[in-house]
Copies of this chain bind each other. A is one copy, B any other.
Amino acid sequence: MPKDTTVSKTTHTTEIFERRESEARSYSRGMPAMFATASGSHLHDESGNTWIDFLAGCSSLNYGHNDPDMKAALVDHITSDGITHGLDLHTNTKADFLTAMEEHILAPRGMDHRVMFTGPTGANAVEAAMKIARKVTGRTNVIAFTNGFHGVTNGALAATGNGYHRGGAGMSLHGVTRMPFDGFFDGIDSADYLDQMLSDASGGIDAPAAIMLETIQGEGGLNAARAEWVKKIEGIAKKHGALLIIDDIQAGCGRSGTFFSFEEMGVTPDIVTLAKSISGFGLPLAMVLVKPEYDVFGPAEHNGTFRGNTHAFVTARIAIEKFWADNSFQSELADKARLIEERLTELASLVPEARLKGRGLMRGVDVGSGELAGKICAEAYKNGLVIETSGSDDQVVKVLAPLTTSVETFNEGFDILIAAARKVLGSTTNIAAE
């Protein structure tokens, strides 16, 4: 009955999007190509143009597009009528994923956390994490930080700092107190400030259910917290009876250079949220890791039709087994992180007062203004590089390439980026000089 079950080969126009898709669409505005296929670190459009991908689905594609091993396993699963949608019933696929997660991720890191599958979006995992902390403590207040980004559903949005996104709520959001992230205000250790606010009996901050943070703020401008600061926050949480939630949705799954972004900090969060790259393949999947003593939800107390996603379990298992069963992938990441730093230093040297941001493979350059950063990325796109900005004024050129990107492709992408910056700065200079 269907016209044709294969991918359409005709060339599409963007009319249908203009006519029928909501104005909420965003990336397609600056990068209007009609994308069709992708593999590894490359995206291709219908007309055969190719882009190197330095965006990686906002860190949802840490292992690149359509990894061949995951692809094969998924096709095999589908072909053999493996479960697609199983609510939260037991499936062999989920069992295999959990086993891999335990064996290669949790156990080696000494984490006895339970895995809770929420609706397959990061926001949903954050919502569940905040609810757990409130249920455990009987308190409402969650401490979140300047420039934090945790999603746009109302519970998570209360914790998100970005004013544009907050404005979308159309109402006041409750239950969160904002505190300065590490380095937000010069001359203070903002962890000490938080401690004093919480310790003063008339400080006016309600006793917290949780302190929630990203160790590297992806959307907020690639602000990387110092390990000492995170460790101090862990102590403050304990002191004030709050749970420590680390939102590792963007910085986790290897992006920081290790599986979890916090694992070399000597910190053990009470709750960790994961999404984006956890499926390995870009499929929707999200989860909450929670210490057993805080695993307080009753059956389906937090539920959702798509909690767990069986296709994603297939690829997620492969991702773990392929990349995290031994230390080799993590070693490569260290090398690539050095390469990224080197090339971004080169970029930064072009812009007066530019600053390197981020950590590991989640890096960028603050070029001082959103206008400049935007122009550089637009120019790069024209020349075959998909790359985006970040930060409260979009002032950071952000590199979130697949972790599996080869050295060659990395350099090719950086060459495009640096040339784009030169061109934009040149024309800027010319304009300024006239």
Please give, as numbers and ranges, the residues of chain B lying within 8 Å of A152 by CB-CB distance. Answer: 127, 302-304
Q: A95-B17, A146-B203, A304-B152 are in contact. Are A120 and B123 (CB under 8 A)?
A: no
Q: Does A352 count as interface, using CB distance less than 8 angstroms?
A: no
Residue of B1, B116, B149, B220 near A21 (CB, 8 A) is B116
A60 touches B85 (CB 8 A): yes
Report A16-50 CB contacts with B as 1/0, cut-off 8 Å: 11011111111111011111111100010010000
B35 touches A72 (CB 8 A): no
Q: Does A235 count as interface, using CB distance less than 8 angstroms?
A: no
B17 touches A202 (CB 8 A): no
Please give, as numbers and ranges, the residues of chain B lying within 8 Å of A314 by CB-CB distance. Answer: 7
Q: Does A134 count as interface, using CB distance less than 8 angstroms?
A: yes
Nearest B residue to A172 by beta-carbon distance? B140
Task: Give A176-206 interface residues, CB cut-off 8 Å to B.
Answer: 177-178, 180, 184-185, 187-188, 193, 196-197, 200-206
Please give, as numbers and ranges, the residues of chain B lying within 8 Å of A77 by CB-CB distance. Answer: 7
Q: Does A227 count as interface, using CB distance less than 8 angstroms?
A: no
Q: Does A115 count as interface, using CB distance less than 8 angstroms?
A: yes
Q: Does A350 count as interface, using CB distance less than 8 angstroms?
A: no
Please tell me which stretch of A290-298, A336-344, A357-365 contacts chain B, meaning at least 4 of its Cβ atoms lie within 8 angstroms of it. Answer: A290-298
Please tell me which stretch of A156-164, A258-266, A410-418, A426-434 contacts chain B, meaning at least 4 of its Cβ atoms lie within 8 angstroms of it. Answer: A156-164
Q: Does A108 count as interface, using CB distance less than 8 angstroms?
A: no
B23 touches A91 (CB 8 A): no
Residue of B147, B167, B298 near A301 (CB, 8 A) is B167
Q: A135-B168, A172-B174 are in contact. Are A23 and B146 (CB under 8 A)?
A: no
Please give, as numbers and ranges, the residues of chain B lying within 8 Å of A196 by CB-CB distance. Answer: 184-185
Q: How many whole Å from A259's CB to the nearest CB in chain B?
A: 16
Q: Does A82 count as interface, using CB distance less than 8 angstroms?
A: yes
Task: Give A261-308 interface residues, CB cut-off 8 Å to B.
Answer: 275-276, 281-284, 288, 290, 295-306
Contacts beyond the supplied A5-B76, A60-B306, A187-B187: 18 A-B pairs with Cβ under 8 Å = A7-B76, A7-B82, A7-B92, A22-B115, A27-B88, A29-B299, A34-B90, A35-B90, A38-B83, A57-B85, A65-B83, A124-B153, A141-B172, A146-B203, A171-B174, A185-B188, A202-B392, A311-B311
Nearest B residue to A318 by beta-carbon distance? B2
Please give, as numbers and ranges, the residues of chain B lying within 8 Å of A188 by CB-CB distance. Answer: 185, 187-188
Q: A7-B77, A121-B121, A299-B29 are in contact. Are A22 and B202 (CB under 8 A)?
A: no
The 3 closest A-B pairs by CB, nearest first: A85-B282, A134-B170, A154-B155
Q: Does A151 count as interface, using CB distance less than 8 angstroms?
A: yes
Q: How many whole Å from A329's CB to the nearest CB in chain B?
A: 9
Please give, as numbers and ranges, the residues of chain B lying within 8 Å of A115 by CB-CB distance. Answer: 20-22
A75 touches B73 (CB 8 A): no
Residue of B34, B131, B197, B209 near A95 (CB, 8 A) is B34
Alpha-carbon separation in the docked complex, A264 to B311 (Å): 36
Q: Does A175 count as interface, using CB distance less than 8 angstroms?
A: yes
30 contacts between A and B (CB under 8 A): A1-B69, A2-B321, A5-B73, A6-B76, A7-B73, A16-B99, A16-B102, A22-B114, A34-B91, A35-B83, A35-B90, A37-B82, A37-B83, A43-B83, A58-B305, A84-B283, A119-B121, A119-B124, A141-B172, A154-B154, A155-B155, A163-B204, A167-B301, A170-B209, A172-B206, A178-B205, A185-B193, A200-B392, A202-B392, A284-B309
B275 touches A305 (CB 8 A): yes
Q: Does A79 count as interface, using CB distance less than 8 angstroms?
A: yes
Please give, as numbers and ranges, the residues of chain B lying within 8 Å of A28 by CB-CB distance. Answer: 88-90
B148 touches A204 (CB 8 A): yes
B127 touches A154 (CB 8 A): yes
Q: A76-B5, A84-B282, A122-B304 are in contact. Are A33 and B90 (CB under 8 A)?
A: yes
